């Protein structure tokens, strides 16, 4: 019997099995994809023990895997991975009661409720607040890292065993900025990687609109790149990106708390800070397990 081998980290080894594919189709996790197709996909992976219960333990319902994979391949991004209200509340409550720290400065930390006072004392804006492993080790976030729906998406799209690479939870705080600073931020597009075997899931834990400077993805930029984009790792201007991809492909991801979307890490995205509303985001990164030679 063959299997999809899913490795979360060095200490945990979760596996999904074609003998239990009926759990996925029964629960409508893979709407539009036949059982034979899933079994054939699974046949590319190694033999392992049966742990079928992971198939029917997803927090996501009515996910059309076929549609998600198609959107990822064509556009580089797919939405509609929305979190249940209970999960949103649990993670947000943790974030509101646990100190966060500045990026690359773990010595300085504060509660979110104290950020205004802290900024006044320091006379310096607090742009981002990062959480460490204390909160990232909570059962709710760990359950998301091993959710069978997310793992099925990663395994199918990457066509490999997905390895959980990283999890981050952070606040992007609204800060005052000049018109020049806002214009400069709007010009900065970048890529996380050129690696075609990397995937990132994002989940908003707060409402995000255009006034929250949402995550911005450049559609089709994962597969359509001119030579300079392939070999130069730098920021690009709005003019450069829009000229090559078109304004219509520069897409802000707005939505209510709980909105989830998955993105090919090769896509261009925009660096920015919230203009008027704080934003709390959970990010899960997966990469394809290197094939043995």
Range 193-197 average pLDDT: 72
Asked whether residue 17 is assigned to any structural domain, the reply reads no
Asked whether residue 191 is assigned to any structural domain, the reply reads yes
Count of the separate structural domains present in the chain: 1
Q: Is the pLDDT of residue 257 over 80?
A: yes
What is the torsional sign of CA 224, 230, 233, 236?
negative
pLDDT of residue 79: 92
Q: pLDDT higher for 243 or 174?
A: 243
Q: Give the whole-angstrom CA distance, residue 233 versus residue 284.
A: 23
pLDDT of residue 37: 47
Q: Which of 284, 285, 278 is nearest to 100 (CA)?
A: 278
Q: What is the pTM of this model?
A: 0.78
Range 259-283 average pLDDT: 88
The per-residue pLDDT for range 9-46, each reduced to its tens digit, is: 332 333 343 333 443 444 444 444 444 445 455 444 43
Kindly report the average pLDDT of the chain as a whole number. Answer: 77
Region for residue 104 given its phi and psi (left: phi exceeds 0; alpha: psi -120 to 50; beta: otherwise): left
Are 239 and 250 contacting, i.e. CB atoms less than 8 angstroms apart? no
Asked whether residue 235 is assigned to any structural domain, the reply reads yes
Give the DSSP letter string of 154-215: HHHHHTS-EEEEEEEEEEE------HHHHHHHHT-EEES-S-SSEEEEEEESS-B-GGG---
Are 76 and 221 contacting, i.e. CB atoms less than 8 angstroms apart? yes
Asked whether residue 5 is assigned to any structural domain, the reply reads no
Domain carrying residue 202: 69-288
With a pLDDT cut of 70, the percent of the chain lying above it is: 71
Q: Give the whole-angstrom CA distance, residue 222 versus residue 196.
A: 8
Q: Give the whole-angstrom CA distance, residue 61 versus residue 82.
A: 9
Range 88-97 average pLDDT: 95
Range among 15-19, 83-87, 123-127, 156-160 with highest mean pLDDT value: 83-87
Range 121-130 average pLDDT: 78
25 alpha carbon, distance to own chain's centre? 25
Asked whether residue 218 is assigned to any structural domain, the reply reads yes
Return the axis-axis angle of helices 65-75 and 148-158, rounded to nearest 10°.
50
Asked whether residue 10 is assigned to any structural domain, the reply reads no
pLDDT confidence band for 112 (50 / 70 / 90): confident
Asked whether residue 170 is assigned to any structural domain, the reply reads yes
Of 40-49, 134-143, 272-281, least confident by mean pLDDT is 40-49
User: Rounded to whole angstroms, what are the CA distances from 69 to 72, 110, 150, 251?
Assistant: 5, 40, 12, 19
- 111: domain CATH number is 2.60.120.620
With a pLDDT cut of 90, the percent of the chain lying above it is: 40
Range 195-215 average pLDDT: 90
For residue 77, list its beta bridge partners: 263
Asked whether residue 4 is assigned to any structural domain, the reply reads no
Range 48-52 average pLDDT: 33
Of 4-18, 83-97, 253-267, least confident by mean pLDDT is 4-18
């Amino acid at each position: 019997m063959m299997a999809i081998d899913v490795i979360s980290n060095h200490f945990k080894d979760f596996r999904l099995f074609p003998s239990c594919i009926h759990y996925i189709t029964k629960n409508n996790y893979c709407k539009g994809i036949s059982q034979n197709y899933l079994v054939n996909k699974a046949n590319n992976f190694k033999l392992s023990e049966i742990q079928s219960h992971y198939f029917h333990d997803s927090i996501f319902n009515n996910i059309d895997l076929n549609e998600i994979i198609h959107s990822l391949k064509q556009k580089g991004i797919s939405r509609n991975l929305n979190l249940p209200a209970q999960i949103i509340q649990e993670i947000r409550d943790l974030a509101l009661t646990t100190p966060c720290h500045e990026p690359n400065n773990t010595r300085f930390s504060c509660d979110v409720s104290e950020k205004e006072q802290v900024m006044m004392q320091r006379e310096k804006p607090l742009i981002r607040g990062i959480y460490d492993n204390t909160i990232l080790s909570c059962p709710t976030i760990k359950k998301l890292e091993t959710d069978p729906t997310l793992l099925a998406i990663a395994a199918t799209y990457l066509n490999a065993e997905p390895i959980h690479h990283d999890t981050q939870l952070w606040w992007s705080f609204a800060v005052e900025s000049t018109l020049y600073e806002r214009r400069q931020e709007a010009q900065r597009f970048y890529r996380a990687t050129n690696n075609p075997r990397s995937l990132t899931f994002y989940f908003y834990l707060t409402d995000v609109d255009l006034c929250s400077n949402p995550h911005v993805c450049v559609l089709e930029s994962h597969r359509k790149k001119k030579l300079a984009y392939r070999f130069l790792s730098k920021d690009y201007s709005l003019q450069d990106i829009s000229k090559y991809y078109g304004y219509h492909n520069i897409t802000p991801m707005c939505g209510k708390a709980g909105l989830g979307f998955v993105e090919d890490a090769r896509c261009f995205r925009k660096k920015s800070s919230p203009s008027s509303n704080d934003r709390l985001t959970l990010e899960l990164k997966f990469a394809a397990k290197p094939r043995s030679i």
